[in-house]
């Protein structure tokens, strides 16, 4: 395991702060039954480097402090993000770094948030389970699998950008 340097800590904190700030500034569409959390695009950073994972999860925890759903969203929403970003990283590790792999990786937040957050909304608001899962999954798909892939694909095609985004020396 690579040593976590001060520089890595600063980059992790920046990602956490950006994730939380984007979520807070777009609060009306970031929380609730139908959500388009644009900060979720950042989860694709885990495709570039696994050292982004702590920052993304911490950013989600901080962002969920502002959730009207309280502690339940802090725990379950952040757990869904933890599962998503780890799966995104593992997809790249085992499948590769092409467009197909990026798209497959983008489906993990759709799956985990759809199921976990969808169930949470079903439990808290008595929304039919299939409907709440579908609402969350559609929002995640639009944000991560469509917008996120459109944004990340050209960035990942440029070695200079990938080098700039990479935190660790080898991953």
pLDDT, one tens digit per residue, over 93-151 is: 999 999 999 999 999 999 999 999 999 999 999 999 999 999 999 999 999 999 999 99
Average pLDDT over the chain reads 93
Residue 34 is predicted with a pLDDT of 83
Residue 1 is predicted with a pLDDT of 47
Higher pLDDT, 169 or 64: 64
What whole-number distance in Å separates Cα of residue 53 and Cα of residue 44?
Answer: 10
Q: Tell me: the pLDDT tens digits for 56-100?
A: 999 999 999 999 999 999 999 999 999 999 999 999 999 999 999
**What is the extent of the structural domain holding 74?**
6-165
What whole-number distance in Å separates Cα of residue 50 and Cα of residue 39?
Answer: 18
Between vectors from CA 20 to CA 50 and to CA 153, what angle results, nearest 5°?
A: 50
What whole-number distance in Å separates Cα of residue 141 and Cα of residue 111?
Answer: 9
Q: Tell me: the pLDDT tens digits for 143-167?
A: 999 999 999 999 999 999 989 888 8
The structure's pTM equals 0.92
Which CATH number belongs to the domain containing residue 93 in this structure?
Answer: 1.10.1760
Does residue 1 lie in a domain region?
no
Question: Please, how many CA atoms are within 13 Å of residue 167, restricted to the half-sphere of its CB?
Answer: 25
* Number of separate domains in the chain: 1
Does residue 171 lie in a domain region?
no
Q: Where are the beta strands (DSSP E) in the chain?
A: none
What whole-number distance in Å separates Cα of residue 102 and Cα of residue 147?
Answer: 12
Does residue 44 lie in a domain region?
yes
């Amino acid at each position: 395991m690579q040593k976590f340097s001060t520089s890595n800590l600063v980059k992790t904190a920046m990602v956490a702060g950006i994730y939380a700030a984007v979520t807070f500034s777009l609060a009306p569409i970031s929380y609730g039954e139908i959500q388009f959390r644009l900060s979720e695009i950042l989860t694709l950073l885990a495709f570039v480097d696994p050292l982004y994972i702590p920052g993304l999860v911490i950013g989600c925890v901080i962002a969920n402090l502002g959730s009207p759903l309280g502690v339940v969203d802090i725990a379950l929403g952040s757990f869904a993000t933890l599962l998503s970003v780890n799966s995104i990283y593992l997809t790249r590790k085992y499948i590769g770094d092409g467009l197909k792999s990026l798209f497959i990786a983008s489906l993990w937040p759709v799956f985990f948030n759809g199921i976990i957050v969808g169930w949470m909304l079903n439990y808290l608001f008595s929304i039919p389970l299939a409907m709440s899962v579908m609402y969350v999954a559609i929002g995640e798909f639009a944000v991560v699998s469509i917008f996120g892939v459109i944004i990340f694909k050209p960035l990942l095609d440029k070695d200079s950008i990938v080098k700039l985004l990479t935190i660790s020396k080898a991953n």
